[in-house]
Structure 1
Amino acid sequence: MTSIQSINRGVLLLLALLLASAAYASSHREAPLIADDPLADNVDVYAFRSPDNPDMVTLIATYIPMQLPHGGPNWYHFGEDIRYEIHVDNDVATTGDDIIYRFTFRRTNEDPTTFFNIRLGKQNLKTTYTLEQIDNDGNSTVLVANGDVPAPNIGPRSIESPVGLGEESYASYSNSTIQTTSNGIEVFAGPVDDPFFVDLGGIFDLGNAPRQEEDPIDGLACFNTNALVLNVPITELLKDGVDGTPDNILDGDFVIGVWASASRPRVRILQTDGTKAEVVDSQYIQVSRLGMPLTNEAIIPIGMKDFWNACTPYDEARDTIFDRYFYNPELALYMDDDLFGGAVPAFAPLRIQEASYTVLGPVDFTNGADGLFILKGNEVLDGTALDDEIFGNLLLPGANKPRSVDLWPIFHTGVPNFPPYQLATGKPAGNPLATGKPFINNFLPSGGDMLRLNMAVPVTPRESDDFSSLGLVQAAVLGLTDPRFNGSDSLQLIPNMDGFPNGRRLEDDVTRIELQAVSGVVLAAVGLFYDDYDPSEDDSPVTADLVSVLSYTTGVEMNDEPFRSEFPYLALPHSGKGECSGALRPNSTAGALPEEGIGMNAPNVVGVNFPNPFRNQTTIKLHVREAAAVSVDLYDVNGRKLENLAKEVLPAGEHQIDVRLNQLPEGLYFAVVSNGSGKILQTLRMVKTN
């Protein structure tokens, strides 16, 4: 194994640059040019079947990253000379987008006599929007002509008092701006809590996520962003000639690609009198785009990031210049002990298959290896997706491109319901090329980087015991291990098949999923198991190496605020007068804040850790400045709550607690620690032994 001491200074610098670009995930300041233009900066894109109305699909694009809730007097706003667009591709037979939803904005100064943003019922500046729907031929239809954008959540006097807007609450005020178009689309445009969650500080510190000797922190807790949210009837998103009833959950006619962009006029002239720039050119230039999360942050190198932002997915599909970064992803270098694995101790659970067992011989997927290209021309590929007669050389383009069969299609085409892209359930041991259990079909090979969503896959209820933020990874685990699903190789609706990377739900932990995918978890799902699997000795493919990958976590697994159960689903923006308005956050908690009523100079800091493994008892260690109200709940790996371990006011120090479920089987569990107000402080991994 290569140690950190043996890695030269240049390699560490390269690693620092890579992870620095990933630190503002998902797309927070991800490229040099767009980092200087926050109004046009794509932040995130989501596409999922609406949890409360399965006849609709929710499309979300967020812009303007990392907004301070108290960021006045000039509050964050949509740009007036920017075209914000959500793009939909639903037909491989057409070239380019089939539907574009274009938002443009206008601001009006209602009271130029004040420096306050809101005073006496007037906004300064009031923002409105126009929403157009544009078809593949360029025909435009105005859906909303003068929609209201809610003002920033400045504080209760500005929003609720008679000297402000006089609204009942910010929630009711924000919801009052929702529009419904004549073709049944619900629309919201305005400020929200940033829904992304990740330990920015840990990742930025040379990949220290999960942090090795301290508690994780959600680096995006307390930040706001601006969102465009559409609830669109599924029938509006289908290609021409397709009715609203899918054949089954694999129906390819129900697959759409979704991406978002921001474009600016090619030429503007700045004015000497301080007024806004004059637009002198009607041609708009794309300056930012986003489809799959983390692409431009953690895959595309710094020197190519601005170019990637200027391309469309269709440009990317025609020009293969970016493909090499998916065939041999740089992050995989730090998951390989023969290369630079020792540079990132936090990634130790994530290792690439070097000798994945198959009846055809071992397969190496580490960077520079051949992967499944070793079988090129072999009759064993006949009738599979890797057969040149099926998809050409799309998935096996050449030697030394090991991840052409998993990472590249995840980002560029989606996955077809075709061998080998079926669950290993039902496949003969060691033969990943065989027909297995049908899993997902979101194959749409007409563009490059997009979210791809099969709208035929039903919603997994958020309140279900089976719901998991691991999306398709958890669905694959259930399909391989759960008796409800692993006893049959027939098509079944497995929970979380509607999760990332089949679209993207707000709750999906995409950072964790994508790091697991780089480590090869998708390969394992289809039968290319990790190196420690031997079918002659192992009854189950769930070996120690696979468990290590599945149990990997960055330490931050959920948003700092709960999502709403109704449109527009995102949490309300943090208030400029609320708990996120500049209060110092404790260093030892996962985005936690001072308890209500306690000043910044004496925060009730809660830090918790458990010794592992445990049996029927464990010890909770609290690091507090004064007695703290603490609740600790135990969950299994499927997110199912098992019991409450503690709920009381405790002083600093060690406290022994019982795990009362004496028959709890060995395995991995999670302890979720909350404060007295019910706010989640951190999530801790626990290992049970007998």
Structure 2
Amino acid sequence: MLLASFGSYASSHREAPLISNDPLADNTDLYAFKSPDDPNSITIIANYIPFESPEGGPNYYNFGTNVRYEIHIKNKTTTAGDDITYRFTFSGTNEDPTTFFNIRLGKQNLKATYKCEKSTDGGQTFVTIVANGVVPPANIGPRSIEGKTVGLEAADYNSLVQSAIATASSGEKIFCGPVDDPFFVDLAGAFDVGNFRPEGNSTNETKDGLSRFNVHTIAIKVPVSMLQKDGKGVQQAANILDPDYVIGVWASASRQMIKTLYGGGDVGYDGKYVQVSRLGMPLTNEAVIPIGMKDRWNSVTPYGGNDLQFAKYFTNPELALYMDDSQFGTAVPSLNALRIQSKSLGSFDFRNGKPGLYGLKGNPALDGTALAEAAFGGILLPDAASPRAVDLLPIFYTGVPNLAPYQLATGKNNNPLAAGKPFIHNFLPTLGDMLRLNMAVPATPRDDAKFSSLGLVQAAVLGITDPAYNGSTDLQFIPNMDGFPNGRRLEDDVTTIELQAVSGVVLAAVGLFYDDATAEAPVSQQLLNVLTFTSGPTKNDVGLKAAFPYVQNPWRGFDYPEKPRF
């Protein structure tokens, strides 16, 4: 008998040491967005199990039967933990153990079902809202799925997906099953010391490292009124940035502490459940937390000040060293377009270890802004060597308030501390890593000519440069205000957005312009360099669905590789 204690794991696509040995418990991505076809609902998608080859038989990928998968929602700052928790546990059945095929004669082996439970009291009690949910099988091939007699005799694979969408007893729509991995990124280039393509290697075209791979998704479509802290619908919002409509979302996976391997090959699990994986903001553990802390990061929740121990990695991010020629910038040519402000407005230096805006701390000019000591100055201006506490830290740990200086440069007359044009309020100051979404913000139609995978960065560009929005400081809907980091849409190019953010694009958007800017020409060449930078692929390898669950059907093993399905 072997007793194995599970330690802390990490999230996303195999980016931490321990989780690479436990893919069934590995969070790959988390999304939270206003449903594009339903203004009264929010869709949350938590993906698990990275790099699923569609051809991976005979034991195809499936949710772990000894893993507790959870989606956590925070809508109040007055409570200590979750305000809503969705818990999923999966079961597997072999309908015909006499065959080595996954599907044969209308029967299915490794057939998965699930139970979904919901808690609204911080996890003290749970109520079952889906008792016997169906997980579609792997998309093996035509004989297995559509085949008469020998297969499942389905009309097509999509019919299995549609029939698996459950309506919970409490009203949510839920889907659990294999799908195309919607994330897109040049993984090979990124981890070759930032050698993004084609910028960093002109002999190679950029490559989506997740192209034609599947993942397993848990997708929930929830009415806004069910997530809003007072039960209000979106029609009751005071405006499109109503602070009472902000939620925080994160996902996790937990295992029991003891795994027992018996002589006959059976496996047993015992002990309390411990968290082995979590995910809130994309790429946090992948590209911000250093390797020596990745496993520790994933062992804790974002509550109770746990994440403050990691704050230094945001206030002085490693990636910023490769955007600074006085450090390692010249060694990473693919990031040449990204350079951080060292003398913004002639004096403010935001490079690692520099003071940033700390020189203004306590200055009466900060009164009435988020940087005042009576507001959040203690967090945003902690010391003279944490320059990115003013922009990166709130993006990840608190959300961004609709307060000066966090308004667009439009109407500020070159004073970044003045009131400008509002474009975000997803402020939920729990000081922990989670996706934050203001549910009052409308969805940008996916066929809108101004829809952009650059999310809130593009909303800022439009708010500063587009005559339809830059004529006043009035609050108005700007396309892509519903994009990352105000939640995360499936289409959002989060890798590019986060690299742009590390290079200071948010600072520039609120009036702390790049070094080459002038009062007469704030849209400088350096700003254009940052805005036109891409990290490689800019969209998924297949189109998305127009209706829930929005993610595309999984790639078919038999047809692999098949033609793109845009």
Q: TM-score range by the shorter chain?
A: over 0.9
Using the alignment, how far apart are the partners of 1:243 and 1:494 within structure 2? 22
Residue 255 of structure 2 contacts residue 273 of structure 2 at CA under 8 Å; is this kept in 1? yes
Per the alignment, in what secondary structure is the counterpart of residue 418 of structure 2?
coil
Residue in structure 2 matched with residue 444 of structure 1 by the alignment: 428
Counterpart pick for 2:104 among 110, 119, 135: 119
Per the alignment, in what secondary structure is the counterpart of residue 394 of structure 1?
helix
Counterpart pick for 2:452 among 468, 476, 484: 468
Letter in 1 for 2:228: L
Residue in structure 1 matched with residue 229 of structure 2 by the alignment: 239
Q: Does 1:381 align with 2:371?
A: no
Residue in structure 2 matched with residue 306 of structure 1 by the alignment: 295
* Residue-by-residue CA offset, 1:252-275 (whole Å, 9 max, x unaligned): 110000000000001222222112
Residue in structure 1 matched with residue 522 of structure 2 by the alignment: 541
Letter in 1 for 2:528: V
Q: Does 1:76 align with 2:61?
A: yes
* Residue-by-residue CA offset, 1:547-572 (whole Å, 9 max, x unaligned): 00000012200000100001100011
Residue in structure 2 matched with residue 493 of structure 1 by the alignment: 477
Using the alignment, how far apart are the partners of 1:397 and 1:323 within structure 2? 11
Compared with structure 1, are the counterparts of its residues 75 and 319 closer, same or farther at alpha carbon in structure 2 (3 Å cutoff)? closer
Cα displacement (A) at 1:204: 2.4
Compared with structure 1, are the counterparts of its residues 205 and 553 closer, same or farther at alpha carbon in structure 2 (3 Å cutoff)? same
Using the alignment, how far apart are the partners of 2:293 and 2:61 within structure 1? 28
Cα displacement (A) at 1:26: 8.5
Q: Does 1:255 align with 2:246?
A: yes
Superposition map of 1:75-474 within 5 A: 75-137=60-122, 138-162=124-148, 163-211=150-198, 212-213=201-202, 214-240=204-230, 242=232, 244=234, 245-275=236-266, 277-281=267-271, 283-315=272-304, 317-318=305-306, 320-357=308-345, 362-429=347-414, 431-474=415-458
Cα displacement (A) at 1:354: 0.3
Per the alignment, in what secondary structure is the counterpart of residue 314 of structure 1?
coil
Q: Does 1:54 align with 2:39?
A: yes
Residue 543 of structure 2 contacts residue 565 of structure 2 at CA under 8 Å; is this kept in 1? no
Cα displacement (A) at 1:319: 5.3
Using the alignment, how far apart are the partners of 2:451 and 2:308 within structure 1? 37
Residue 67 of structure 1 contacts residue 223 of structure 1 at CA under 8 Å; is this kept in 2? yes
Compared with structure 1, are the counterparts of its residues 318 and 288 closer, same or farther at alpha carbon in structure 2 (3 Å cutoff)? closer
Using the alignment, how far apart are the partners of 1:72 and 1:412 within structure 2? 41
Residue 242 of structure 1 contacts residue 253 of structure 1 at CA under 8 Å; is this kept in 2? no
Residue 308 of structure 2 contacts residue 432 of structure 2 at CA under 8 Å; is this kept in 1? no
Letter in 2 for 1:230: I
Residue 289 of structure 1 contacts residue 309 of structure 1 at CA under 8 Å; is this kept in 2? yes
Cα displacement (A) at 1:447: 4.1
Residue 108 of structure 1 contacts residue 124 of structure 1 at CA under 8 Å; is this kept in 2? yes
Using the alignment, how far apart are the partners of 1:388 and 1:436 within structure 2? 21
Using the alignment, how far apart are the partners of 1:186 and 1:554 within structure 2? 34
Compared with structure 1, are the counterparts of its residues 205 and 391 closer, same or farther at alpha carbon in structure 2 (3 Å cutoff)? closer
Q: Does 1:67 align with 2:52?
A: yes
* Residue-by-residue CA offset, 1:391-425 (whole Å, 9 max, x unaligned): 25121111100000100000000000000000010
Using the alignment, how far apart are the partners of 1:87 and 1:310 within structure 2? 15
Using the alignment, how far apart are the partners of 2:207 and 2:377 within structure 1? 46
Letter in 2 for 1:396: L
Residue 84 of structure 1 contacts residue 103 of structure 1 at CA under 8 Å; is this kept in 2? yes
Structure with greater contact order relative to length (CA < 8 Å, sep ≥ 6): 2
* Residue-by-residue CA offset, 1:554-599 (whole Å, 9 max, x unaligned): 220000010000110001100011132xxxxxxxxxxxx7xxxxxx
Using the alignment, how far apart are the partners of 1:271 and 1:247 within structure 2? 60
Per the alignment, in what secondary structure is the counterpart of residue 263 of structure 1?
strand
Q: Does 1:579 align with 2:560?
A: yes
After TM superposition, the score normalised by the length of structure 1 is: 0.78
Letter in 2 for 1:190: G
Letter in 2 for 1:400: A
Residue in structure 2 matched with residue 563 of structure 1 by the alignment: 544
Residue 96 of structure 1 contacts residue 136 of structure 1 at CA under 8 Å; is this kept in 2? no
Residue 300 of structure 2 contacts residue 306 of structure 2 at CA under 8 Å; is this kept in 1? no
Using the alignment, how far apart are the partners of 1:334 and 1:268 within structure 2? 42
Residue segments in structure 2 that go unaligned for 5+ positions in a row = 1-9
Cα displacement (A) at 1:542: 1.1
Residue 74 of structure 2 contacts residue 82 of structure 2 at CA under 8 Å; is this kept in 1? yes
Using the alignment, how far apart are the partners of 2:307 and 2:335 within structure 1? 32
Moved more, 519-528 or 209-218: 209-218
Superposition map of 1:579-658 within 5 A: 579-580=560-561
Displaced runs of 4 or more, over 4 A: 241-244, 677-680
Letter in 1 for 2:96: D
Letter in 2 for 1:485: Y
Compared with structure 1, are the counterparts of its residues 679 and 191 closer, same or farther at alpha carbon in structure 2 (3 Å cutoff)? closer
Residue 26 of structure 1 contacts residue 293 of structure 1 at CA under 8 Å; is this kept in 2? no
Using the alignment, how far apart are the partners of 2:84 and 2:262 within structure 1? 36
Using the alignment, how far apart are the partners of 1:67 and 1:231 within structure 2? 25
Using the alignment, how far apart are the partners of 1:175 and 1:251 within structure 2? 35
* Residue-by-residue CA offset, 1:50-93 (whole Å, 9 max, x unaligned): 01111110000000000000000111010111100010000011
Q: Does 1:550 align with 2:550?
A: no
* Residue-by-residue CA offset, 1:2-34 (whole Å, 9 max, x unaligned): xxxxxxxxxxxxxxxxxxxxxxx9910121111
- Kindly report the root-mean-square deviation, in angstroms, between the aligned alpha carbons of the 2 structures: 1.4
Q: How many pairs does the alignment contain?
A: 551
Cα displacement (A) at 1:338: 1.0
Cα displacement (A) at 1:206: 2.2
Using the alignment, how far apart are the partners of 1:280 and 1:532 within structure 2? 61
Residue 177 of structure 2 contacts residue 216 of structure 2 at CA under 8 Å; is this kept in 1? yes
Identity %: 62
